[in-house]
Structure 1
Amino acid sequence: MSLLCLNSASVIEESSTKKEETGVNVEAMLKEQRASISSSRLSTPYPRGMIVMIASLETDNWFTIQGNGIGEYTGWYICDGRNGTPDLRGRFLVGRDVFSSESDYSDVGKIGGTSRVQLSENQMPSHTHTDKGHSHTISLSTGVAGSHAHDYDDIFFSEHYGNSANYVSVPRNLGSKSSDHDNVGHQMRRTTYSAGNHQHNIVGNTLNGVASIAASGGNQSHENRPPYYVVIYIVYLGV
């Protein structure tokens, strides 16, 4: 079974220098006969340079090991890069586009594409990662100093009575903090009450930090092809 695919008088020019045992160079012959091809009428149903597809497991019985057809396929050649044919193994065809300045398909014979792709950082969509944030609570304690008291100096004034310097009234309330001309000043060492063995807890503020997100993924390539069915491309030369 053969399927008509594309009418074209051109095939890949880069393969024009290839020549196998058949002694035929498809592209070179088409170039040589382009004038007669454009001016003469068809003697066969197929214009030279036409590419079609064959979808049959018997194809290998219809072509020689050099890639040229026999029997009903005489004049046809497998498009595998030999005999000046375009190498269409593992490729699909796309129509030429000469009207778009940004087209990748402006030149016949141009090849490109890949079956598997691994995205780079620049090819990934712009995106962000959000960290919900977290905090750390720090609890500190002072060291234990044991049961202890603190001494301090208490300064006070008391009233002086009489003319003798040997008699001074020291009140039980430790005197006053101010004095007039007949008061006497005193300084006494006092001790605070003991608070017993104890320690103080200190709770610190929460700390803010920069969180990092662990990388994921396996750096593997992904499938870059639509569903496919394998056929054989052949090109018609007529000889």
Structure 2
Amino acid sequence: MNKTLGNFLTQANRDFPLDCETLDYLQKLAGLAALAGNIAGDRVVLCGCEVNDEGTRRNEGYVFVRTAGNPEGEILPWEGGSTTGGMYVRQEDMAVSANNTDYPKAYTRRSLAPGIGEENFRWEDFTDIRTIKELMTENGQLRAEIKRLQPAPLGVVQMWAGRDVPEGYLLCNGQELRTTDYPELSEVLGTVFNTAESAGGVRYTTRSGYFRVPDLRGRFVVGQHDSDNDYRTCGGAGGLKAVALKTEQIPSHCHNFKDYYYAEASGILSGNYDVIRTNGGVGSRSSDADNDGLPYYRHDTDKTGDGLTHENRPPYYVLAYIMRAR
């Protein structure tokens, strides 16, 4: 459809021929204006058409809709009424008489009316138009919700109970990755784990142009601590699953037993011995020293124990550690 401007007020004496061509031109201009409704969609409530409390009726108003007669879209008035039985495009010819001449189809009135006709629509397919301010408010709310729901940052380690690692994540198994394949993750991790200790206790070597994720297989994780040499560096590792105690780790203690013997005629020996006093109640019950107590020697017991290791872990539960990579 071409756009033609009418120079109505620039003619001499401001007279302009009002003929059928002029009226057709004006009608086409109105059609061009209606095309702007496509910005909002093909079936849009422009104004009015408020729904009653029961949701069964709508007030009068205007809608933009693409119809068979105007596939590019037109603005039609809604006559108001019930919405439960559908609506259709009502088209009525309007007659005009002028200069002793009848024009039975001088005008055609088009509107949307309740009921069923040749071209039907449903209110459920129409949407209410939003102002720019309303759209900006909704957009801000949507952005805030998206921000709240966005995934964890790259490099975040999480526990995973699923069978397969989810898309965009990697298993924290110390694997070597090409920097060009994961540039954002490489920027986050750097080379921190390139020489870290593997799950088997051996330090990794990493090729140029590659980097590694942490190897957390079979590991407990402890928080990084600048004031503790054991925990100062990310990627540091230590600890043992089982430990055999060393002599210096056992609390100081001893074992001995009392080796009794009876000695007559003051036959008390010298050395590592002691006496249990009996007040003359031993042997012949005489008054000499050998009847006054039970001498004994001190001896160490035989050694026992196999020196095996003992469990050095708290109660544990196995899950996989994964890291967001993309």
TM-score after normalising by structure 1: 0.44
Q: Which has the higher strand share?
A: 2
- Which protein has the larger Cα radius of gyration, Structure 1 or Structure 2? 1
Q: Which has the higher helix share?
A: 2
TM-score after normalising by structure 2: 0.33
